Structure 1
Amino acid sequence: MVKIARWNDGGEVRSGFIHEDRAYPLPAGQTVNDLLDDGLEETLALAERTIGGAALTGDGAAHPLSGVVLLAPLVPATLRDFVAFEEHVEGMRISVDGAAGVMEEWYQAPTFYFSNPHTVRATGEEIPIPAGCSQLDFETEVAAVIGRVPGSSGTNLSAEQAQRHIFGYTVFNDWSARDLQRREMKVSLGPCKGKDFAGTLGPWIVTADEFTHRHDADGFLGLRMSVDVNGFRVGEDLLSNLGWPFAELVAYASQDSVVLPGDVLGSGTCGSGCLAELWGRHGSQTPPPLQTGDTVSMTVEGIGTITNTVGPRREASTLVRARPRQRLPRAYNGAGVAGA
């Protein structure tokens, strides 16, 4: 199994391959993004050469995995997150507005929003509670990482073409400030400050070839997903309960647009994969929102486990009310005088 990772090696960020219990670094200066630009075939060949012929000493020496601190496996070029599990949508509708069932529009095409690639965190990092948040939540997901396919522009892909662009998979925790998110989504726009403070990717990228034999006839991956809070199982599901296989999600994202190496696309929350969904089903905040000191662990079969501890809340006021204004005539010319 080829795993691709980034780690802190004595204060220096290194990229490379994880095999069994050892980390094999790329030459200094080479990054995970270089591998994504090279594409999956070249990366697999490089991994075989690197792991098979690793020097015992020097810059290319393998390190015990226990002696390195894993970082997020990449800083995404873009971060799209879908809402592709029917059970999650059903539970969240109950939680948010008490509605039953799933809206017809969900079935018509996969829906996603763009999140913040600059606040991606690693397994093991502390996740502070953002200012103004009293309902911190997690979201249990799998994310596909895009790599280069020779001769492809990454635009208007078919599902078959899109599958070739999937370089690998990683675990994704889309941290969510539910009370902030609830307020801002009433303005009929996607989440922003309720989401952009943190998202965990990791612990590494497992290359897509490792899952070829796991696809069913429709292209779905039957991987087990689970999430524990403070050691207690809170939710679990199968990745194959997606409404669309990953190849179709990537293909949809590429329509009249483009997917490029380094892009990350999240599956959306699996069924029972977050607290807010359970609040809707239970009719109360059970289990309760996350608090400082809580530990959240997510495991996806064949990929691995990410674990984060909740840090302190940042005490600050971030809401800034709109100024009351007298509406100007539509023909206002900007100089204080209405147009003729």
Structure 2
Amino acid sequence: MRWVTYDGGDGPRAGLLEDETVRGLPAGTTLLSLLGDDGERLAAAADTARRDPAEVRAVGEVRLLAPIPRPPSVRDGLSFLDHLRGCYRALGRAPELHPAWSQAPAFYFGNPAAVVGPHDDVAIAPGSRMFDLELEVGAVVGRAGRDLHPDTAADHIAGFTFFNDWTARDHQMRDMAQGIGMGKAKDMAITLGPALVTVDELAPHLGPDGYAFEVAATVNGREIAKGSLAGMDWTWGEQLAYMSRGTDLVPGDVIGSGTVPGGCLLEHVDTADPAAYGGWLQPGDVVSLSSDALGATRQVVRPAPPMTPLRTGH
């Protein structure tokens, strides 16, 4: 099943995406309200959408929103350690990683209020001159859990969608210097969409090394990265088990895979001074994430809004 949240002119509602049409559920029905079990509600809703839809619209006639427009929480992992090694190399650092990276799956909390849809414009972060994209996949929690076991934790995933945690790299350098985690570097936009593709739909792509469907990122039509989720250093089960230690994962929570190796501009920096790199995103650039399994996003980068200094010289 491929579920979308869309607005056809009378407010957001959930719909089943089939053959370039959206088979809508009654107005006000949300995907979040269909989660919370092992998928029975989603399956029953799909049967209703096929048999007796509230409306049928061509996908090009409606605005696609993020599948979960305001998740209860957003966590972004780093399950591809080669992405981190690639960033280190681009910055002139040795690619050897601290042992902590192999002791637990790293993650940070994102901003649910920053979630945007798959075709929404994205403004550069105020004050940033090093704006970047990140090619990731997001897992949507379908069933609540706490202190999950790594062998079964992935059973709590309802499905997957694209996840682009746009990043202001210059702000990130300041965040890292302050040492308390991600702040304004990751605060402006997180793209989810175009659809929530359920785990049963993706089952043919699941192998011993994880999901093997390809994902790609382009800027102005030029491919910057292609890869798959196969061979993640931390599996989805391990990530959900770790994230649920001593706390609840709830339906609708979104968990990012971390960047597919090569899937950000930082990994392509070719100068000793990252600020001098000529490839950072600029107003008018078109960024797309695509996959035969997940669909495609397409977003235009817009100028940064004005930034009011906090103090003189800041």
Please state which band the TM-score falls in when normalised by the shorter chain: over 0.9
CA distance in structure 1 between the partners assigned to 2:218 and 2:60 by the alignment = 23
Deviations 1:271-318 (A, max 9, x none): 000001121699866561000000100113411111111001212134
The answer to whether the aligner puts 1:103 opposite 2:115 as a matched pair is: no
Cα shift at 1:155: 0.5
> Does the 8 A contact of 1:91 with 1:280 survive in 2?
no
Q: Assess if the C-alpha contact under 8 Å between 2:35 and 2:41 holds in 1.
A: no
- The corresponding residue for 1:329 is none
- Whichever residue aligns with residue 140 of structure 1, its letter is L
Question: For the Cα contact (< 8 Å) 1:23–1:63, is it kept in 2?
Answer: yes
Query: Equivalent of 2:179, from 188, 191, 201?
Result: 188
Shift, 1:319, TM fit: 4.6
CA RMSD after TM alignment = 2.2
Please tell me whether the aligned partners of residues 126 and 310 of structure 1 are also in contact (alpha carbons under 8 angstroms): yes
- Structure 2, unaligned stretches of length 5 or more? none
Pair 1:243–1:282, CA change in 2 (3 A) = farther
Pick from 43, 52, 61 the counterpart of residue 54 of structure 1.
52
1:315 aligns with 2:306: yes
Distance 2:52 2:57 in 1: 10
Structure 1 segments unaligned to the other structure (5+ residues): 323-340
* 2:164 aligned with 1:173: yes
Deviates more, 1:303-312 or 1:249-258: 249-258
Distance 1:92 1:319 in 2: 31
SS for the counterpart of 2:303 is strand
Corresponding residue for 1:328? Answer: none
Tell me the percent identity. Answer: 35
Q: Give runs of aligned pairs for residues 1-340 of structure 1, distance below 5 A.
A: 2-51=1-50, 53-55=51-53, 60-74=54-68, 75-96=70-91, 98-148=93-143, 154-218=145-209, 220-279=210-269, 288-320=279-311
Note the alpha carbon deviations across 1:75-103, whole angstroms, 9 max, x for none: 21100000111211101223446232222
Contact map agreement 2:130 2:280 (CA 8 A) in 1: yes
Note the alpha carbon deviations across 1:301-340, whole angstroms, 9 max, x for none: 4111111110012121345589xxxxxxxxxxxxxxxxxx
On the 8 A contact 1:171/1:300 being kept in 2, the answer is: no
Contact 1:81 1:112 in 2 (8 A): yes
The superposition leaves residues 91-142 of structure 1 with CA deviations (integer Å, 9 ceiling, x where unpaired) of 1223446232222211111100001011101111111112110000000000
1:159 aligns to what SS in structure 2?
coil
* C-alpha deviation, 1:72, in angstroms: 0.9
Q: Secondary structure at the match of 2:151?
A: helix
User: Partners in 2 of 1:321 and 1:96 — Cα distance?
Assistant: 30
Residue 313 of structure 1 aligns to a residue whose secondary structure is coil
CA pair 84-282 structure 1, distance change in 2 beyond 3 A = farther
**One-letter amino acid of the counterpart of residue 260, structure 1:** V
TM-score by length of 1: 0.86
**2 CA distance for matches of 1:213 and 1:312?**
41
Hey, what's the Cα distance between the residues in 2 that align with 1:318 and 1:261? 39
CA deviation vs aligned residue, 1:7-50 (integer Å, no higher than 9, x gap) = 11114222121111211111222211101135412211320232
1:211 alignment partner AA: L
Q: Taking structure 2 as the reference length, what is the TM-score of the superposition?
A: 0.93
**Structure 1 pair 321–255 and aligned structure 2 pair: CA distance change class (3 A):** farther
Identify if the C-alpha distance between structure 1 residues 155 and 275 changes in structure 2 by more than 3 Å, giving closer, same or farther: same
Structure 2: distance between partners of 1:4 and 1:229: 26
SS in structure 1 opposite 2:211? coil
SS, match of residue 269 in structure 1: coil
Give the SS at the match of 1:37: coil
- Asked whether the 8 Å contact 2:142–2:156 carries over to 1, the reply is yes
CA distance 1:321–1:114, change in 2 (3 Å): farther
CA, structure 1 residues 182+306, in 2 after alignment: closer, same or farther (shift >3 Å)? Answer: same
